[in-house]
Amino acid sequence: MQKKLEKLTAILEGQPMIPVLKIEQLADAVPLARALVSGGLPAIEITLRTPDAIDAIRLVASEVPDAIVGAGTVLSPRNYDSAVDAGARFIVSPGTTQELLDTARDASVPFLPGAITPSEIMALREEGFSILKFFPAEQTGGAAFLKSLASPLAGTRFCPTGGISLKNAKDYLSLSNVVCVGGTWVAPDELIAAGEWEKITLLAREAAGLKRAG
């Protein structure tokens, strides 16, 4: 568990923002990943929300060596195993189940489980998780809520995702218990559809320059 935590920590501490991607067209996966890597965001989360998501992970893992591709919206052990087989280097879920925890325990690839309430967070701390996804962040109290957790749940850090943009990312990154944020704003649907990879690289570079607490 400790080695997997170290792997996950290194990935999340490596950049202030993790792009959360929905790949509608498989042909977009590689140029999109390359654009984000060029902008300074090598760690990317491809969500399993589209039919081509697993194939997209496989393509990026094999064709973009500088990318650190992860799988998001992982809801079941089957999702977890499929993503790992495709080359995912970290796994993200909006919540968790005992089945997912059992799978994560046996897997070599680290798991970022989601939690939103103090009870959920405490339960995952008991399972050995000290970095958690906080989702949906804006809809459940935002940065103010996360700030209120810092003292009673000291030692737990979060990657908040959901409703985060360049405008409010700084509010989260100013908190001592936020390791990074997740968001979609660096890869808008319209830019992906138009193949505007240079514009995405510029957005990524801007996000990569965000400052964190400490």
Residue 126: active-site member = no
- Examine residue 214 and state whether it is found in any structural domain, yes or no: no
Residue 14 or 214, more confident:
14
Looking at the DSSP assignment, which residues form a beta bridge with residue 92?
Answer: 112
Has residue 75 been placed in a domain? yes
Catalytic (active site) residue 45: yes
What per-residue confidence (pLDDT) applies to 214?
61
Which residue range(s) make up the domain with 15? 2-208
Would residue 23 count as lying in a domain?
yes
Number of domains in the chain: 1
Q: Is residue 61 part of a domain?
A: yes
Residue 2's CB is within 10 A of a number of other CB atoms, namely 7
Domain assignment present for residue 64? The answer is yes
Convert the pLDDT of each residue in 130-142 to its tens digit.
999 999 999 999 9
Q: What is the pLDDT of residues 58-105, one digit of tens each?
A: 999 999 999 999 999 999 999 999 999 999 999 999 999 999 999 999
Catalytic residue among 3, 13, 45, 206: 45
Q: What average pLDDT score do residues 15-23 get?
A: 98
Catalytic choice (133, 138, 147, 190): 133
Position 110 in a domain: yes
What average pLDDT does this structure show over 126-133?
A: 96
Residue 2 above 90 pLDDT? no
Query: Is 156 within the bounds of a domain?
Result: yes
User: What HEC string does the chain produce?
Assistant: CHHHHHHHHHHHHCCCEEEEECCCCHHHHHHHHHHHHHCCCCEEEEECCCCCHHHHHHHHHHHCCCCEEEEECCCCHHHHHHHHHHCCCCEECCCCCHHHHHHHHHCCCCEECECCCHHHHHHHHHCCCCEEEECCCHHHCHHHHHHHHCCCCCCCEEEEECCCCHHHHHHHHCCCCECCEEECCCCCHHHHHHCCHHHHHHHHHHHHCCCCCC
Q: Is the pTM of this model over 0.95?
A: yes
Mean pLDDT (the chain) is: 97
When pLDDT is averaged across residues 5-24 and rounded to a whole number, the result is 97
For 137-195, what is each residue's pLDDT tens digit? 999 999 999 999 999 999 999 999 999 999 999 999 999 999 999 999 999 999 999 99
What CATH number has the domain bearing residue 102?
3.20.20.70
| Any domain includes 213 | no
